[in-house]
Amino acid sequence: MAADAGAASLSSQRMAPALGPREMEFQMTKATNDAPADQSATPYLEVMPLGGMGEIGKNITVYRYGDEIMVVDGGLAFPDAYQVGIDLIVPRIDYLQQNAELIKGWILTHGHEDHIGGLPYILPRLPRVPVYGAPLTLGLVREKLAEFGLKDGDIDLREADTNAKVKIGTHFGVEFIRMTHSIPDNTGYILTTPVGQVLHTGDFKLDEEPSDGQLSDLGRIEQAGKEGVLLLISDSTNAERPGRTASEAEVARNLESVIANCKGRVFMTTFASNVHRIQNVINIAHRQSRRVVMEGRSMLKYAQVSQGLGYMELPEPFLTNDEVGTLQDQQVLYVCTGSQGQPMSVLSRLAFGNHAKIALRRGDSVILSSNPIPGNEEAVNLVINRLYELGVDVYYPPTYRVHASGHGSQEELATVLNLARPKFFLPWHGEPRHQINHAKLAQTLPRPPKRTLIARNGDVVRLGPDEFKVTGTVPAGAVYVDGLGVGDVSDDVLLDRVNMSQEGLIIMTAVLQPTPHVEIVSRGFVRPNRELDAQIRRVALEAVETGMREKKRLEDVRDDMYGAVRRFVRKVTGRNPVLIPMIVD
């Protein structure tokens, strides 16, 4: 998943010189108008990413042909460090709400949070339409919906295997394609439309040794390429990485080697959704005579859903922490949450000694089988340093090859491009640098796409047999989830939070009767300083008394007090705290 690119300023241009003997052409998009054009008489398809384009996270893509809309995925993203207090980020769906009567169906590619995590916030706000997904994907969606009090009958979930074909409306035919990733039941799809075929890889890597033996269906991609792929939309996450992404089987072998050399208790953390890796660790533990304890809410949730649907098998039942008391340290392996350094996760509480039942000690080993999502590096490093201070043995990449990405590197991306042979190409699922490097890679191949666009969220990409361009924009962006509030925190509120965290807060209350005086309260500004407080009160009071003498409105008096204190504080401290002025008559 994961986190999160800032917006880049991109303008329409032809990129040159060529990479190799031929001209390289790809266009960085700039909308030519502010809205999608009327489709009533023009046979073309519109592709509208509302999330997941130019960023990693909150994936949602909209296709429109005429008076029909089909939607793909509905994910969330996690906040950056500057998004203080925010719990989750979901995509804006204004366009879907404005065109709700046109939505004919929804498809889900897989069960990662950045593809399904936003659905409980999105689906209840739109009409009930068929939502197609593979069994594990829908199992995880049902679990999420239940947490929000939504029942199966509230949402029309329809199971579709990884090679299923479904019809959505009259214009869209969807054929799911099995693609390997870091979660079972992952799919891409071929979308058949009146203008031609669109091939969307979904998240993928071409793992040659997948844990479940289910290889990516490259034969179907090759067949689609021979039939004619008008547009390829492909995963760009690892477009900067040469070669191939390591196989999950290689990670399993490395994990087994590390665990075999651990003398005491083992604590392993990874993404809770990485069902294949957790299954491998369960098998490793069984071979090495260790019993597995699951710790952490999301770990238990994913394990329960996976077991219930037959995607996870247990040689021995999981133990609870209360049941390991009679076992020796070398007989226990904990699988726990905390791969991203989340403050309330099991691993973070262990690292800082805040876990109610478990305490780390010398002789224990901790394995971080993950890489930090961009933005989480500091939190993960903090946990790792604390683990070292406790004297435990710590294993993490890249020193130990105990993790592999779920996304393909350059060689795998090139393989898909060569098999699909698309006329047009839309790099997706990545920050601008990933998209652009993917575009450059495509131009080095024997048969490069005729045109590649670097799109952004909200772009309206018009696609026809001989047309591929951005024609407008629709609303797109972030909706912040903070506690029980959804959308009630804006960027201005976040800016205030950042300013308060960096510069502090001063509240000034001017009481006018019976005698004007000013009281101030400050937090996070400076340590108690009577002289500075008195100076601020004096500056504020002078502004109030001047305004009263001139018979100004109370609003203007308040503004004068604000401006005077702002200038004074900046002059004497060089700081810019958040000021809250109040007048009490």
Positions at the binding site for substrate: 403-407
Which distant-in-sequence residues (6+ apart) come within 8 Å of 479 by Cβ?
89, 90, 91, 92, 121, 486, 487
Place of tokens 């294949």: 276
Dihedral sign for Cα 233, 234, 236, 242, please: negative
Distance CA 187, CA 168 (A): 17
Enumerate the known binding-site residues. Answer: 403-407
Report d(CA 165, CA 126) in Å as an integer. 24
159: β partners: 133
**HEC states along 519-556?**
EEEEECCCCCCHHHHHHHHHHHHHHHHHHHHCCCCHHH
Per-residue burial over 1-27, b = 16 or more CB atoms within 10 Å of its CB, e = otherwise: bbbbbeeeebeeeebeeebeeeebbbb
Integer Cα distance of 508 and 582 in angstroms: 6
In this structure, are residues 184 and 136 in contact, taking their beta carbons and an 8 Å threshold? yes
Which three-class secondary structure string do you get for 189-258? EEEEECCEEEEECCCCCCCCCCCCCCCCCHHHHHHHHHHCCCEEEEECCCCCCCCCCCCHHHHHHHHHHH
Whole-angstrom Cα distance, residue 62 to residue 192? 15
